[in-house]
Amino acid sequence: MSYDYIIIGGGSAGSVMANRLSAPSANRVLVCEAGQDTPDGRVPPEILDSYPGTAYFDPRFHWTGLRAHTEMISHNNPEEGRPPLRKYEQARVLGGGSSINGQLANRGAPGDYAEWEARGAAGWGWREVLPYFKKVERDLDFDGPLHGKEGRIPVRRIFPDLWNGHAKAAAAAFEAAGFRYLPDQNGTFEDGYFPITISNAYDRRVSAAIGYLDPATRLRSNLSIATATMVTGLLFEGARCVGVKALVAGRESEFRGREMILSSGAIHSPAHLLRAGIGPPGALRDLGIPVLAALHGVGQRLMDHPSISLSAFIKPEARLNGLTRRHILVGLRYSSGIGGAPSGDMFAVAIDKSAWHAVGERIGSLLLAVYKTYSETGQVRLASADWRREPVVEFNLLSDRRDLERLMDAFRRAGRLQQSPALQAATSDPFPASYSERVKKVGEVNARNRVITAVLARLLDGPAALRRALIDNVIVEGFRFDELMRDDEALEAFVRRAAIGVWHASCTCRMGADGDPMAVTDAAGRVRGVAGLRVVDASLFPAVPCANTNFPTLMAAEKIADAVLAGN
């Protein structure tokens, strides 16, 4: 069977494209998703859970073999060695990242989209993208010119009267530091603290698959959703993409179509292009891949938001209160004033439960992230032409020193907040946290970790001296809070070791102007140098916005879907 559109990846962007492109009954649409389905009535409870930590750590929903370098890699000084590879939790399930992420539903700054236009993405300024942000959402709290009321993804906030003690203490610390309360994070983009906006209704996640691939949409006879379907390659006739090769439940198949839409994310979309011979010619020839289209930007300038955490023991009376499963309730947007960064360049959240297990219930954090990042030297490249091999992922998160300096400043700011009367009343024993391999291992959802953390949690609730000893000798890895608050060299070493991204991989197939040698697509997502192929996901972004990337991805898919239906 031949299709009009074949969508490669059923994540956030793929779900939107499937819904919108199949709305005209004449269009035959196929979605190919490597992961499992999440149909109405059979969505795994871990995905539906308003608390995202369980789904996020569940290997059933991941590309389990994917690894990434997050630290800066020195290509000029081999003696420095390569930083360690870390497991990278990329979603492999219908709905993609929206099925396992933290459900944060924000948009970024108007200036982000002015920058997109300035970088060559014509028609992607704030005035043009705002209608599509509004089209995505059904805001359950606010109306007006900045909010949508009829979209497929409900958004809401949990207001302070329902916050637990740790969240209230963080808010009081923000207030004491001079920040004002903003009831609406998605209102005017300005500094302040606010209830986090979430893609959630009735304390249940609403993923892109739940919102856009609802029962009525699935009844469309012109829409086929093929899960457990691994696309292994793109098919070309000359310079036109005419189909895909795939493994369907382990069986080799081919599907033909008029147009292919790559919605596999900022790591796997460029990998598909590279394996097809679309990318930097030298790198392709080194792997024996014939060059179909010489596009130097494919896989290049990978971006994410670098972050660090300051954690502390949450006293029993300040823990989750049973009024909601949510563990991220209050956020802060502030301006660092460092390196000429624009206002609102930094983002912080109070995390009231650090993991699904019993220890996680007793550890809270202030997570601090550079949301206007300047580091854009990361890359995705092939290890092999074999589709079975995961690509090599190098984030190079702190390649621009301004990002390092702002994280160092952020830690010190968080330290002062942690020492405020409000947070001292709710917590004790602060410590610098890192998302190490040991933490990841304990974070895997299994019976062994459930038992281990239950025992450790009881000990943490014991005498103060025992708790301090456990934190210093079992939980903390090499750095102490007091040391980092006074020693710049130690703080820089900690930030370089502990900084990680926040799973906002972006920008590896950037939109750009005709004359831009690094532009992979035009402003409608069409891949340059070939026909019949678009990219529609976060890899399109000219720069990562000051936002969690799920809603910008949904917005981009809505906008490009309109362009496709209009014949552009």
CA distance 142 to 152: 16
> In this structure, are residues 523 and 124 in contact, taking their beta carbons and an 8 Å threshold?
yes
Percent helix, strand, coil in the chain, to 5, is: 35, 25, 45
C-beta atoms surrounding 383 within 10 Å: 11
DSSP state of 73: P
Separation between Cα atoms, residue 288 and residue 387, nearest integer Å? 14
- The SS3 assignment for 566 reads coil
Q: In what order do the strands lie in the sheet with 197-198?
A: 137-139, 153-157, 197-198
Catalytic site residue from 147, 305, 327, 504: 504
SS3 of 391, please?
coil
Active site residue 504: yes
Sign of CA dihedral 20, 22, 23, 24: positive
Residue 378 backbone phi and psi in degrees, to 5: -70, 170
Strands ordered across the beta sheet of 192-195: 192-195, 328-334, 346-351, 363-370, 307-314, 427-433
Q: Where are the alpha helices (DSSP H) in 86-188?
A: 110-118, 126-136, 165-176
Judge contact between 22 and 3, C-beta under 8 A: no
CB atoms within 10 A of CB 441: 10
Q: If you compute the radius of gyration of the chain from its CA atoms, what whole number of angstroms results?
A: 23
Q: What is the DSSP letter of 515?
A: T
Q: Closest Cα to residue 185, out of 197, 175, 174?
A: 197
Distance of CA 163 to the CA centre of its chain: 25
Q: Which two tokens stand for residue 169?
A: 């203490």
Distances, alpha carbon 72 to alpha carbons 69, 409, 446, 500, 526, in Å = 8, 19, 33, 11, 31
- Look at residue 51 and give its three-state secondary structure: coil
- Residue 132 CA to residue 113 CA, distance in Å, equals 13
Which residues are catalytically annotated? Answer: 504
